[in-house]
Structure 1
Amino acid sequence: MTNTLRFPPAEPAAAAEFFAAELAFEADPDDVVRDLESGAAQGFQLVETRSAEAFAHSRIPTAIHLDYRTVDELSTKDLDRDLVYVCYCESFQCNAATKGALRLARLGFRVKRLSGGITAWRAAGYPVEGDEGGHTGVRCAC
C-alpha cells in the first residue's frame, strides 16, 4: 500500500462537508485581492492582528489594526457587527490571526482568517503599504 492511500480517503459527502467547513473559516489572498480590485469588498474588513510596530511598517491596503492582545469589548465597540472580519498576521508560522479571530468570535463577530498572512500576500505579488513589499525585519511579536 502506498503512503498516500494508507489511510483511505473520506467518502465524497464527508469530504464535501469538511472542505466547505474549511472555506467558512479561511479566505485566500487571491479571492480577497480580486474583491478589493473590483470594488466588491463590501461585507468584509481586513484586520491586521500583529503588533502596532509591524502594522506601521507594512500592511495590506484597507486593513485596520487590532493587536490580538487588545481585542476586547472596548477596542471593538465601534466595529460594524454586520461585517465579516478577515484576520491576518505574518504567515502560516504565526498564530496572531487565529488568536485575534478567536477573540473577535467570542465577542460575537463573524470572522475568517487570511490564509498565509501578509507573507503569502507578498509572495503572490500583491501590494502592501509601508514597506513597498520588502521585508522590514519587524517580527509579528505574537
Structure 2
Amino acid sequence: MTRTLDVPAPAPELATAYFGAELAFEVDPDDLVRDLEAGHTDGYVIVETRAPEAFAQARIPGAVNLPYCDLTAESTKHLDRDVVYVCYCESTNCNAATKGALKLAQLGFRVKRLSGGITSWIAAGYPVEGAAEATPAPGIRCAC
C-alpha cells in the first residue's frame, strides 16, 4: 500500500458532506476578488479582524475593521444581521479571523473565513488599500 492510500479515501457521501461543510465555512481569495471585480458585493461584508494598525497598513478594498478582541454585543449592535461576515487576518499563521468569526457567530451573526488571509491575497497580486499601496513588499504581520 502507498502512503497516499494508507488511510482509505472516504465514501463519496462522506466526502460530499466534508468538503461541502468546508466550503460553507471558507471562501478563497480568487472567488472573493472575482466577486469584487464583478460588483457582486450584496449579501456579505469583508471584515479585517486584526488591530487598527494592521488595517491601516493593508486591507482588502471595501473591508471594515472589527478587531476580534473588541467584538461584543454592544460593539456589534449596529451590524446588519442579514449578511454574511467574511473574516480575514494576516495568514494561516494568525488566528484572528478564526477568533473574530467565532465571536461573531456566538453573537448570532453568519460568518465565513477568507482562506490564507491578507498574505495570500497580496501573494496572488490582488489590490490592497492602505499604507502598503506605496510599498512593494508591505511586510504584513499578525498585529493582533
TM over 0.5: yes
Percent identity of equivalent pairs:
65
Deviation at 1:61, TM superposition (A): 0.4
Instruction: Report the Cα distance in structure 1 between the residues aligned to 2:57 and 2:116, rounded to whole angstroms.
Output: 18
Counterparts in 2 of 1:56-135, with a 5 A limit?
A: 56-130=56-130, 131-132=132-133, 134-135=136-137
More off after superposition, 106-115 vs 129-138: 129-138
Mapped to 2, the partners of 1:135 and 1:72 lie a distance apart of: 34
Provide structure 1 residue ranges, at least 5 long, that are not aligned to the other structure. Answer: none
Partner Cα distance (1:135, 1:103) in 2 = 31
Given that 2:25 and 2:111 are in contact with CA atoms closer than 8 Å, whether structure 1 keeps it comes out as yes
What is the Cα deviation at residue 141 of structure 1? Answer: 2.6
Residues of 2 paired with 1:120 and 1:103: CA distance? 23
| Distance change in 2, residues 1:135/1:69 (3 Å) | farther
Q: Secondary structure at the match of 1:4?
A: helix
The alpha-carbon deviation at position 38 of structure 1 amounts to 0.7
Distance in 2, matches of 1:112 and 1:62, equals 16
Give the counterpart letter for 1:58 in structure 2.
A
TM value normalised by structure 2: 0.95
The 5 A counterparts of 1:42-61 are 42-61=42-61
Aligned-partner Cα distance in 2 for 1:134–1:77:
38
Q: Secondary structure at the match of 2:20?
A: helix
Q: Which residue type is aligned with residue 76 of structure 1? A: T
Cα distance in 2, alignment partners of residues 13 and 57 from structure 1: 44
Amino acid paired to 2:39:
G
- Whole-angstrom distance in 1 between the partners of 2:41 and 2:24: 17
RMSD across aligned positions (CA): 1.2
Q: Does the CA contact (< 8 Å) of 1:53 and 1:138 recur in 2? A: no
